[in-house]
Amino acid sequence: MKKIILSTLAISSLAMAMDEAQIKLDITDTKAKIKELNANLKQLKAQLPKKDSEFMTHTELGYITTSGNTNTETFNLDAKVKKNWGSHVVTLSALMQYGTESEIENKNRVVVELEYDYDITDRLSFGYLVGYKDDKFSGFDYQLYTGPGAKYKAIKTATQKLSLEGNILYALDSIQDTYKDGLGNVVSYPFPAGSINQNDGVNNSYASYRAKAIYNWQALENLKFNQELSYRSEFSDSQNYFAYSKTSFSSKVSDIFSAGVSLQADYVNKPAVGKTSTDRTITFNLIADY
């Protein structure tokens, strides 16, 4: 009798183990199928044609303040608004950065670009660019550049996108006046009280070009990597060039909001007197896409 009971228990345990193993296999197989279906769904969505009229915004907002031994305040806004009417696309980008230390400015930068593009195909477009840059600490009153160009979407998949751009530009650089203190030393913005204006600022206009690349990679379901690189140079003087890089990571918090960190590097090959070539900024941002 005991042997029968033990045999029955053994068979029941084996059957339960086999059922449990089969259930685990079914769960694994179902998860794999769901993952494959989600990947196929993303690819199909990426292939959908543009709507006749579409409006999109992307906003990155960062703010840091400290008090005590140091009193600093830093504000960062990086926004993009995009609107299309069929094959016509208008994009407005704005970058604003402002900072103070003990109520004295240590950052004051604005970059605005307005772009119009006409899509020839789903990958190639031609357009026109107008850009304006005002950085009080760069040695320039402002920089203006405008001209026609083309864009090509070299990579366009569900997880990766690479856009290449090129423009022929007219550029105008308004170089700041030099200021000196009472001892004749050159001083920088924000100019101390009693600074003397040398009235030696000039405007430099020239033909130039800009090459730009934007790469987006959905590395994980909840992690996105973005890299933007641009290079703008004068045709007749290859030493007069400007480079910009923005590297960022973001992670979704909800359907609209994400948290992100970015590193920006702004390079001037011929900086103004008393200025360094590279200006770097690290920001931690709340991001909204809608």
User: Do 173 and 248 lie in a common domain?
Assistant: yes
User: Do 276 and 146 lie in a common domain?
Assistant: yes
User: Do 18 and 72 lie in a common domain?
Assistant: no
Q: Flag whether pLDDT at 31 surpasses 90.
A: no
User: Do 177 and 249 lie in a common domain?
Assistant: yes
Q: What is the 3-state secondary structure (H, E, C) of the chain?
A: CHHHHHHHHHHHHHHHHHHHHHHHHHHHHHHHHHHHHHHHHHHHHHCCCCCCEEEEEEEEEEEEEECCCCCEEEEEEEEEEEEEECCEEEEEEEEEEEEEECCEEEEEEEEEEEEEEEECCCCEEEEEEEEEEEECCCCEEEEEEEEEEEEEEEEECCCEEEEEEEEEEEEEEEECCCEECCCCCEECCCCCCCCEECCCCCEEEEEEEEEEEEEEEEEECCEEEEEEEEEEEECCCCCCEEEEEEEEEEEECCCCEEEEEEEEEEEECCCCCCCCCEEEEEEEEEEEEC
Q: Which has the higher per-residue pLDDT, 109 or 23?
A: 109
Tens digits of per-residue pLDDT, 174-228?
A: 999 999 998 888 888 888 888 999 999 999 999 999 999 999 999 998 999 999 9
Total domains present in the chain: 2
Global pTM reads 0.80
User: Do 79 and 119 lie in a common domain?
Assistant: yes
pLDDT of residue 95: 96
User: Do 75 and 90 lie in a common domain?
Assistant: yes
Per the structure, the complete domain to which residue 193 belongs is given by 52-289
Q: What is the mean pLDDT of residues 132-154?
A: 96
pLDDT of residue 222: 92
User: Do 182 and 91 lie in a common domain?
Assistant: yes
User: Do 21 and 126 lie in a common domain?
Assistant: no
Q: Flag whether pLDDT at 10 surpasses 70.
A: no
pLDDT of residue 49: 56
pLDDT of residue 258: 97
User: Do 1 and 79 lie in a common domain?
Assistant: no
User: Do 96 and 15 lie in a common domain?
Assistant: no
User: Do 35 and 84 lie in a common domain?
Assistant: no
The CATH number of residue 222's host domain is 2.40.160.40
